Structure 1
Amino acid sequence: MGAVLKKLISLSSSNYKNLDWKTVLLILFLVAFFIRFPFFFRDYVDRDESTFIIMAQSWVNGHLPYTKLWDLKPPITFLFFAVIIKIFGKSFIAIRLFGTLLVALTALFTYGMTTKIASKKVAFWVALFCVFFQSLFGSLQGVMSEHICTFFFTVGAYLLLTKDHGKWYFLTGLFFGLSIMSKLNMAYPVLGLGIYFLWEGFTHKRLKANLKNLTLMGLGVIGTIALTALPYYFEGKTQIWWQSIFEAPLAYSDSQFHSPLKSLPFILASTLFFYFAYRKELVNFKSKPIQILLIIFSGVMLSFVQAGKVNGHYLIQVYPFILVLFGIAISKFVPHKKVFKPLVAVLLLLIPMEAYLEYVNIAKNKIEKGSFFNGEGIDVPSYIEANSLEIKNIFFTEYHIGYWVLGVDPPTTAATHPSNITRDVLYPYMENPRKTGIEELQYIMEVLKPKTLVARKGKKIFDKKLVRYNTYIDAYLAKNYTLLATVDRGLIYQRLE
């Protein structure tokens, strides 16, 4: 990889001009693959990814999302995983490989957007850093809903910047709709773009043309959303589609209080960048493509402010758009001198440090355990199967990817993601017989009576703030279960009865 990057740094501007999309995609995919490959063998990187996989498997088994298992995400996220599982079976490698392709394609369309505003050289490096920022620093090595929705939105944004015919606006709307149906907060930048085009129509005396284009784009968005409802309509379950996708997220959002101040550091940092770029005339803010990218970025950031939190993987949604602006500014601000090339080469070699460490981890796991696949979500199910423990009546309070590995379902709808058990506000939308989290937990423990229960060493079963839940289950485990085995940090309990 070092030799490849060194060669790229030494390319002249004329060489960059000769780059075609196929070559760029190949380079981006190879870099993404190198960075993300060691994580192909991890049980999970983020717990949400495990939930998406479990929901997708249920869909493959013939159960529409929200009808047997339930989670607080729109259906296109689950569909992405379901298609992979349907074609390739239960394969961590296939899921992570297509996640890698998703990252590379997002970067490729970021490259395409940038070529309409800046040189191919700037576009290439923006795309390369798009791969880095979607793959490193936190839980980004898994396949997250943000990866999926950002890919669809980036394709739509590329079409918006490069095409100017009604059919393309409709297609743009379809991609924006897919993005929203992967993660709902992408409705914010879509709404922002609608307002922008209305404003531009008034100020540039092209209101009629803009209204036509907006109508076509709106039809594309609505059409995509409507298509996700069709399977539910045919099964007479449209209500659960509506409740799960739209009502439940709103109810959950209203029930949570996260201070908008938590997003303030990101707002201030981006504002300072824009101010500096404006003062130094590094970015032409009068340019329509630049304004469109600003609207998209601002819309996503507004959704973060409304949510009152910014997790690391949330930022995937803004990287393609802010990196374009940042790349343009850097290209004008930093003088092109050969002295910078060794520094850039060293920087690029150091950035994937998480990947290097994971390569060491999988090699160590292979030597010690005989397998590249690693993590308690894999090792705990392996122990359970090797020792013929009960799997049909099992409860994973942690490492719930184990349900998928063992080929079983969670004990109840609410237990699909362990944390959903404690979210009382969601129960009306799950069509769940129990109406509170504590009732659900008591039902699982006292009625279903799991023969096997998995927890995590050194961590409370539920959030430490949920004292009532932890007090109940700790006492119940002490009375009715025995700790059978500890597999790394995984605790395997067996029921005494």
Structure 2
Amino acid sequence: MTKKLNTAVLKKLRSLEYQDLDWKTVLFVLVVVSVFIRFPFFFRDYVDRDESTFILMGQSWVNGHLPYTQLWDLKPPITFLYFAIIIKLFGKSFFAIRFFGAVMVAITSLFTYGIATKITSKKIAFWSAIFCVFFQSLFGSLQGVMSEHICTLFFVAGIYIVIYKSQWQWFLLAGLLFGLSIMSKLNMAYPVLTLGIYFLSEGFSKDKLSKSILNLFFMGIGIAITVFLTAFPYYLQDSLYVWWESIFEAPLAYAGGKYHSPVKTLPFVFIVLGLLIVGFVYKIIDFKSRESQLLTVVIIGILLSFMQTGKVNGHYLIQLYPFILIPMGIAFGKLPKLKKSYKPLFIALLLLIPMESYLEYMNIVSNKIKKGSFYNGEGIDVPRYIQDHNLETNTIFFTEYHIGYWVLDETPPTKAATHPSNITRDELFSDLGNPRKTGIEELKYIMEVIQPKTLVARNGKKIFDKKLVDYNSYIDAYLEKHYKLEATVGRGLIYQRLE
């Protein structure tokens, strides 16, 4: 069935005359591809632990608590707003969260198509957009809804506007979108900054400095309005310092952590820049084109943000894909035309790209047969076991599968424990407004004062990163003395506190 559907889609694509494509048709195809690839993951408990944290933060907001007041995480509030809106409208629905995530990926890819058509042919633009869906949905923990998906949508929409429009009111709108992007993930301030420098230099070179300054002014106003709107609710609650520390100071402290180093990002940065330079030198990419220059400036800004963060996780690359895939598409478009005898091989390779999706389709069917539900994963199975056996949940502590708090309608034992790994990040504690100032103190407070009746861990894995010997030594010894293993559910370990 899967292969037949893919073949039908490919036949439809081949029958299209690319020049006749309109944005509605492109959007329809992108939504179909995005939903098809991501659909089996609509039923997974979690794909990346960060997404689980965003869901908890969104639920807390729906319950009437501003971000960072009841629960805490490192991201700016617009990321949590996405989840809060979905939960408010559709309730506790993995399906709704992931479905609208798939639509968001399709819209991001549509804007990528729009940008590309300004630089290259509609055919190359179309396939750049299709691969934008692939790269935002496959090859790692990208099938959930990440902060990078959210911030990239706003940013790509803003870039589309500044490429096609030059009036100040459009720059104001672009500024609002850039502000939303920054308030979804703070590192997007870097490409916005490099973009501003480019517009200023463009004004100098084309004797349009006054217009450039005017446009930049309104773009800045748009960004400022968005930032102000996120701060205003905290001002009304006389907790503006919570907003400031959580959104601006904490990420800087995190980036300065001992496990992050700009040096680690250099090989990746050099590879990307090297490919761009080769493209310009061999005139594969027209550097004289304003649109190509804009893409280059944005790519440089994103790479600078990676260097500042000190690492390049797989989901960080979501921010880069829309802009790097366009020059890659242009480069591939200049290769010799594919011989007819090789076209079946190309189609076969195209069909194999979503292999992760095919495997997950089989997984959800298998889970339905065995357990009677498409929804799967320890984040669902462990809470179900806890409910079925009437285990205590008021003081439950998930060191793994913390989406279980949401399933059980519970909250983490402390604000610092919203994302389990935050407990070990001493550098963040000064910005948490937390009574305990180190991770070990926090862990001891949870285990010795709160004394969770139920604790969930993962089989075959240390509770904390293996580099954190002190944390693991403490909790391993404490569990051995004060807890018994109640059950093993999949890879989930359920411990009960001894009386």
| TM-score for both structures, normalised by structure 2 | 0.97
Whole-Å Cα distance in 2 between the matches of residues 2 and 467 of structure 1? 49
- Structure 2 SS opposite 1:255: coil
Whole-Å Cα distance in 2 between the matches of residues 473 and 66 of structure 1? 26
Out of 85, 88, 94, the position equivalent to 1:86 is 88
- Whether 2:382 is the aligned partner of 1:380: answer yes
Which residue is equivalent to 1:249?
A: 251
Which residue is equivalent to 1:481?
A: 483
Contact 1:66–1:240, Cα closer than 8 Å, also in 2:
yes
Q: Kindly provide the CA deviation profile for residues 173-192 of structure 1, in whole angstroms up to 9, marking residues without a partner as x.
A: 00000000000000000000
Distance 1:340 1:222, change over 3 A: farther
Which residue is equivalent to 1:184?
A: 186
Aligned partner letter, 2:467: K
Which residue is equivalent to 1:230?
A: 232
- Structure 1 SS opposite 2:334: helix
Whole-Å Cα distance in 1 between the matches of residues 343 and 396 of structure 2? 56
- CA positional deviation for 1:338: 3.0
Which residue is equivalent to 2:437?
A: 435
- CA positional deviation for 1:255: 2.7
- CA positional deviation for 1:74: 0.3
Q: Kindly provide the CA deviation profile for residues 86-139 of structure 1, in whole angstroms up to 9, marking residues without a partner as x.
A: 000000000000100110000011011111111111111110000000000000
- CA positional deviation for 1:5: 4.1
Contact 1:5–1:348, Cα closer than 8 Å, also in 2:
no
Whole-Å Cα distance in 2 between the matches of residues 259 and 450 of structure 1? 36
Taking the TM superposition and a 5 Å limit, the aligned residue runs for 1:315-326 are: 315-326=317-328
Contact 2:399–2:457, Cα closer than 8 Å, also in 1:
yes
- Structure 2 SS opposite 1:310: coil
Out of 332, 348, 370, the position equivalent to 2:372 is 370
Post-superposition, which runs of at least 4 consecutive aligned residues in structure 1 deviate over 4 A? none
Aligned partner letter, 1:278: F
Taking the TM superposition and a 5 Å limit, the aligned residue runs for 1:26-45 are: 26-45=28-47
- Structure 2 SS opposite 1:494: strand
Distance 1:340 1:225, change over 3 A: farther
Which residue is equivalent to 2:211?
A: 209
Whole-Å Cα distance in 2 between the matches of residues 483 and 325 of structure 1? 54
Contact 1:5–1:345, Cα closer than 8 Å, also in 2:
no
Whole-Å Cα distance in 2 between the matches of residues 5 and 264 of structure 1? 40
Whole-Å Cα distance in 2 between the matches of residues 177 and 337 of structure 1? 47
Out of 315, 319, 328, the position equivalent to 2:330 is 328
Taking the TM superposition and a 5 Å limit, the aligned residue runs for 1:482-497 are: 482-497=484-499
Taking the TM superposition and a 5 Å limit, the aligned residue runs for 1:7-156 are: 7-8=11-12, 10-11=14-15, 15-156=17-158
Out of 218, 221, 230, the position equivalent to 2:220 is 218
Aligned partner letter, 1:262: K
Which residue is equivalent to 1:200?
A: 202
Out of 350, 358, 361, the position equivalent to 1:359 is 361
- Structure 2 SS opposite 1:345: helix
Contact 2:23–2:110, Cα closer than 8 Å, also in 1:
yes
Whole-Å Cα distance in 2 between the matches of residues 344 and 89 of structure 1? 43
Contact 2:56–2:403, Cα closer than 8 Å, also in 1:
yes
- CA positional deviation for 1:454: 0.4
- CA positional deviation for 1:308: 2.0
- Whether 2:8 is the aligned partner of 1:4: answer yes
Which residue is equivalent to 2:416?
A: 414
Q: Could you tell which deviates more after superposition, 264-273 or 393-402?
A: 264-273
- Structure 1 SS opposite 2:340: coil
- CA positional deviation for 1:266: 2.3
Q: Kindly provide the CA deviation profile for residues 320-366 of structure 1, in whole angstroms up to 9, marking residues without a partner as x.
A: 00111111121123425434432321111000000001111111111
Whole-Å Cα distance in 1 between the matches of residues 13 and 281 of structure 2? 29
- Structure 1 SS opposite 2:412: coil
- Structure 2 SS opposite 1:43: coil
- CA positional deviation for 1:438: 1.1
Q: Could you tell which deviates more after superposition, 244-253 or 50-59?
A: 244-253
- Structure 2 SS opposite 1:140: coil
Aligned partner letter, 1:22: K
Aligned partner letter, 2:143: Q
Which residue is equivalent to 2:425?
A: 423
Which residue is equivalent to 2:307?
A: 305
Which residue is equivalent to 1:166?
A: 168
- CA positional deviation for 1:417: 0.5
Aligned partner letter, 2:7: A
Q: Could you tell which deviates more after superposition, 246-255 or 318-327?
A: 246-255
Q: Could you tell which deviates more after superposition, 93-102 or 266-275?
A: 266-275
Q: Kindly provide the CA deviation profile for residues 357-414 of structure 1, in whole angstroms up to 9, marking residues without a partner as x.
A: 1111111111111111111000000000000000111000100000000000100101
- Structure 1 SS opposite 2:129: helix
Alpha carbon RMSD of aligned pairs, Å? 1.2
Whole-Å Cα distance in 1 between the matches of residues 494 and 408 of structure 2? 15
Whole-Å Cα distance in 2 between the matches of residues 304 and 338 of structure 1? 42
Distance 1:135 1:338, change over 3 A: same
Q: Could you tell which deviates more after superposition, 431-440 or 100-109?
A: 431-440
Aligned partner letter, 2:81: L
- Amino-acid identity (%): 65
Contact 2:456–2:495, Cα closer than 8 Å, also in 1:
yes
Task: Give 5+ residue unaligned stretches, structure 2.
Answer: none
Which residue is equivalent to 2:467?
A: 465
Whole-Å Cα distance in 2 between the matches of residues 201 and 88 of structure 1? 47
Contact 2:255–2:310, Cα closer than 8 Å, also in 1:
no
- CA positional deviation for 1:271: 2.8
Which residue is equivalent to 2:396?
A: 394
Whole-Å Cα distance in 2 between the matches of residues 133 and 328 of structure 1? 17
- CA positional deviation for 1:230: 0.8
- Structure 2 SS opposite 1:137: coil
- CA positional deviation for 1:60: 0.2
- Structure 2 SS opposite 1:333: coil
Contact 2:231–2:243, Cα closer than 8 Å, also in 1:
yes
Whole-Å Cα distance in 2 between the matches of residues 270 and 132 of structure 1? 19
Q: Kindly provide the CA deviation profile for residues 183-203 of structure 1, in whole angstroms up to 9, marking residues without a partner as x.
A: 000000000011111111111
Aligned partner letter, 1:456: R
- Structure 1 SS opposite 2:457: strand
- Structure 2 SS opposite 1:10: helix
